[in-house]
């Protein structure tokens, strides 16, 4: 098939949705499909088999698109829609594959050009407004709910990335269109030697401390503030290595660490390429996911499970829809409980046994062949529903 893909993101950037988009494209290419990606003007070009990138023009000179909803997306989405319409006018496309809010554009274009439409539902659009504190207006949220409902109704297949989204689509009466496709693929790791790993450990933990690692962005919903508060209560001989913060959020968390008196045992590392994250995971004695809000499963959870290291996560649906108590230390989302969970993971053989169980399941279930099979199922479902 010749697929037109719409991505309202700077592609590529090492953050949640662009990473997911990367693996969708890689899988489609491996299955023999050609993809033209229409995306934002920002981002780094990547080379993937059978991929052609078309960037919408940056008429307003927007330099950065932050994670989550933003007003900057409105003109960029308009320009993306024009670029997508131009591509379709050239002919030869068999299917439109849209991510996030671009599904509203993709669905409209699919009706005009009479093509099947796939909606890649990375999150609930109205929930994003609340998670990122973009708007509390009941009118705005209602408009996004109506838009999401229309997209689900009109699309011919829907990808959902976690059990919570699958349940939402099913509750909306569209479960027959949905395929659960978790974001469990990883970038190949940059090679590193045992000597390089040992040198970094000596730098991060010069007195032989154990290392607690967080990797991801520093948006409020990720719970970095909870992690720092837990670090202040942790009496173990441990340092906390936090990888992935940038800009204002990083500055805020550094200030909080100073206020809590934990700057001496918290190390902030710059944002790194996804292929470098396995190096930092390898440094860890314990991995943490302190997420506080939202219902999507963090991408990092799948990488953490595959690493086979003790994992501490908040006991919230965002985690428990994937993590069983036999596979991780699940702690209440308060500083005392999370600190106790970290201490258990650092010291208990039970935590290591849970990590081994989690790795065993991840190695069996979260495989590339399973991912490819589900992508194929999505395309077949879209074609069948379109033909009805």
Distance CA 306, CA 171 (A): 32
- The boundaries of the domain holding residue 345 are 194-365
Average pLDDT (281-294) is 96
Helical H runs in 155-211? 163-171, 194-204
**Helix, strand or coil, per DSSP, at residue 365:** helix
Shared domain for 29 and 164, answered yes or no, is: yes
Cβ proximity of 305 and 361 under 8 Å: yes
**Which of 271-275, 324-328, 362-366, 375-379 comes out lowest in average pLDDT?**
271-275
DSSP class of residue 324? -
Nearest to residue 267, comparing CAs of 320, 209, 222, 318?
209
Q: What is the pLDDT of residues 86-125, one digit of tens each?
A: 999 999 999 999 999 999 999 999 999 999 999 999 988 7
Shared domain for 273 and 255, answered yes or no, is: yes
Phi, psi of 367 (to 5 degrees): -115, 160
Q: Which residue has the tokens 């000596």?
A: 202
Shared domain for 164 and 299, answered yes or no, is: no
Shared domain for 8 and 48, answered yes or no, is: yes
Task: Give residue 131's pLDDT.
Answer: 59
Give percent above pLDDT 70 in the chain.
Answer: 97
Beta strands, E only, the chain: 2-7, 34-39, 51-55, 95-99, 117-121, 157-160, 178-180, 210-215, 238-245, 266-270, 286-289, 311-314, 329-331
DSSP class of residue 297? P
Query: 251-278 burial, b if ≥16 CB within 10 A, otherwise e?
Result: eebbebbeebebeebbbbbebeebebbb
Cβ proximity of 198 and 264 under 8 Å: no
Distance CA 328, CA 58 (A): 45
Cβ proximity of 12 and 44 under 8 Å: yes
Give percent above pLDDT 90 in the chain.
Answer: 83
pTM attached to this predicted model = 0.88
Task: Give residue 72's pLDDT.
Answer: 73
Number of domains in the chain: 2
What's the burial of 232, exposed, middle or buried (CB within 10 Å: 0-12/13-18/19+)?
Answer: middle
pLDDT at 162 over 80: yes
Domain with residue 231: its CATH number is: 3.40.50.2000
Shared domain for 176 and 213, answered yes or no, is: no
Shared domain for 379 and 234, answered yes or no, is: no
Shared domain for 373 and 360, answered yes or no, is: no
| Token digits of residue 319 | 């985690």
Task: Give residue 133's pLDDT.
Answer: 60
Shared domain for 371 and 359, answered yes or no, is: no
Distance CA 38, CA 81 (A): 9
Shared domain for 226 and 124, answered yes or no, is: no
Distance CA 315, CA 160 (A): 22
Shared domain for 104 and 240, answered yes or no, is: no
Q: What is the pLDDT of residues 227-259, one digit of tens each?
A: 999 999 999 999 999 999 999 999 999 999 999
Shared domain for 99 and 68, answered yes or no, is: yes
How many CB atoms are closer than 10 A to CB 320? 16
Cβ proximity of 252 and 224 under 8 Å: no
| Token digits of residue 268 | 């902030």
Shared domain for 342 and 381, answered yes or no, is: no
């Amino acid at each position: 098939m010749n697929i037109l893909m719409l991505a309202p993101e700077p592609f590529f950037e090492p953050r949640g949705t662009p990473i997911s988009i990367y693996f969708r494209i890689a899988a489609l290419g491996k299955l023999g499909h050609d993809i033209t990606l229409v995306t934002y003007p920002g981002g780094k070009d990547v080379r993937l088999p059978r991929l052609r990138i078309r960037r919408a023009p940056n008429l307003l000179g927007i330099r950065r698109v932050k994670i989550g909803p933003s007003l900057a997306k409105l003109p960029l989405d308009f320009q993306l829609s024009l670029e997508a319409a131009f591509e379709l006018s050239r002919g030869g496309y068999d299917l439109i594959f849209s991510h996030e809010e671009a599904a509203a554009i993709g669905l409209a274009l699919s009706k005009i050009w009479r093509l099947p439409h796939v909606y890649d539902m990375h999150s609930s659009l109205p929930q994003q407004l609340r998670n990122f504190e973009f708007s509390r207006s009941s009118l705005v949220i209602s408009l996004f709910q109506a838009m999401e409902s229309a997209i689900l109704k009109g699309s011919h297949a829907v990808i959902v990335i976690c059990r919570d989204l699958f349940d939402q689509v099913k509750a909306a009466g569209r479960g027959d269109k949905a395929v659960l496709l978790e974001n469990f693929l990883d970038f190949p790791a940059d090679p590193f030697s045992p000597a390089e790993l040992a040198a970094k450990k000596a730098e991060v933990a010069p007195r032989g401390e154990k290392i607690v690692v967080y990797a991801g962005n520093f948006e409020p919903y990720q719970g970095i503030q909870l992690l720092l508060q837990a670090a202040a209560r942790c009496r173990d001989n441990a340092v906390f290595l936090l990888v992935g913060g940038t800009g204002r959020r990083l500055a805020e968390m550094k200030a909080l660490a100073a206020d809590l008196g934990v700057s001496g045992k918290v190390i902030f590392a710059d944002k790194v390429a996804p292929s470098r994250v396995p190096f930092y995971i390898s440094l860890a004695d314990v991995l943490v996911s302190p997420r506080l809000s939202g219902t999507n499963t963090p991408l990092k959870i799948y990488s953490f499970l595959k690493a086979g290291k003790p994992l501490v996560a908040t006991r919230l649906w965002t985690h428990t829809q994937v993590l069983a108590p036999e596979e991780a230390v699940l702690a209440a989302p308060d500083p005392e409980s999370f600190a106790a969970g970290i201490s258990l993971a650092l010291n208990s053989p039970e935590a290591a046994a849970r990590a081994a169980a989690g790795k065993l399941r991840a190695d069996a279930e979260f495989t590339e062949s399973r991912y490819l099979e589900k992508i194929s199922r999505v395309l077949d479902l879209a074609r069948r529903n379109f033909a009805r």
